[in-house]
Amino acid sequence: MSTERPQQAVTPPGESPTPPPTRRTFIATTTVVGGAAVAGGLIAAPPALAADGAAAAEGAVAAEGPPGSRLSLTVNGVRRTVTVDNRTSLLDLLREHLDLTGSKKGCNAGACGACTVLVDGRRVNSCLTLAVRLEGAEVTTIEGLAQGDRLHPLQQAFIDQDAFQCGFCTSGQIVSGVGCIQEGHIGSPEEIREWMSGNLCRCGCYVKIERAVEQAVGRK
């Protein structure tokens, strides 16, 4: 067995021995070196990797795009074919895609009736109706009631009875009144008011609106 001891580092004459690094010095040194390496990696990322990352990000955005559908429906007697986001309401389809702005966006929650249109002859709140559900449907808006320069009888009755003030709810009121007449809910003033109650008028023209409906059916 060897009895030799391991040699120790000898400090040359005239030089001070180097003290061993302390724990604080070691941590500070490794932190600075590591931070420089990370910063260098961020600043000088390989071009190929950067391009691949950008392409992947663009692909992810495209994959997350909203789904759309193509549908055909008849609006005021004209066949329309459009491609829309599946979340598009009938109201937004009419106003934003077909430029039929007579139907108004009031509460956008189905509570005021300003957006009322006829779908296959029945009254609906267009703000609550998904456009993609209306494939093949027939939609009538306020723009489709008149025949050229000849107003619909209810449109004329609204003028004769002065059944509007600000006019914001008027298109929905008239379309709803046309639906009310077609549905046969015109037996009495009370019945008309009941079946028109889903259309709100902030100006309070309810009495004149009811009279306009009665005029349109020949009772005034």
Cβ neighbours for 92, distance < 8 A, ≥ 6 positions apart: 131
Q: Would you give per-residue pLDDT tens digits along the chain (220 residues)? A: 555 555 555 555 555 555 566 666 656 555 555 554 444 444 444 555 555 665 555 555 455 667 899 999 999 999 999 999 999 999 999 999 999 999 999 999 999 999 999 999 999 999 999 999 999 999 999 999 999 999 999 999 999 999 999 999 999 999 999 999 999 999 999 999 999 999 999 999 999 999 999 999 997 6
Place of tokens 């990000």: 57
Task: Say how far apart CA 109 and CA 123 lie, in whole Å.
Answer: 15
Q: Check: CB of residue 77 under 8 Å from CB of residue 144.
A: yes
Task: Count CA atoms closer than 13 A to 170's CA, side-chain side.
Answer: 18
Q: How many helices (H) and strands (E) does the chain have?
A: 7, 5
Q: Quote the CA–CA distance of 135 and 131 in Å, as a whole number.
A: 8
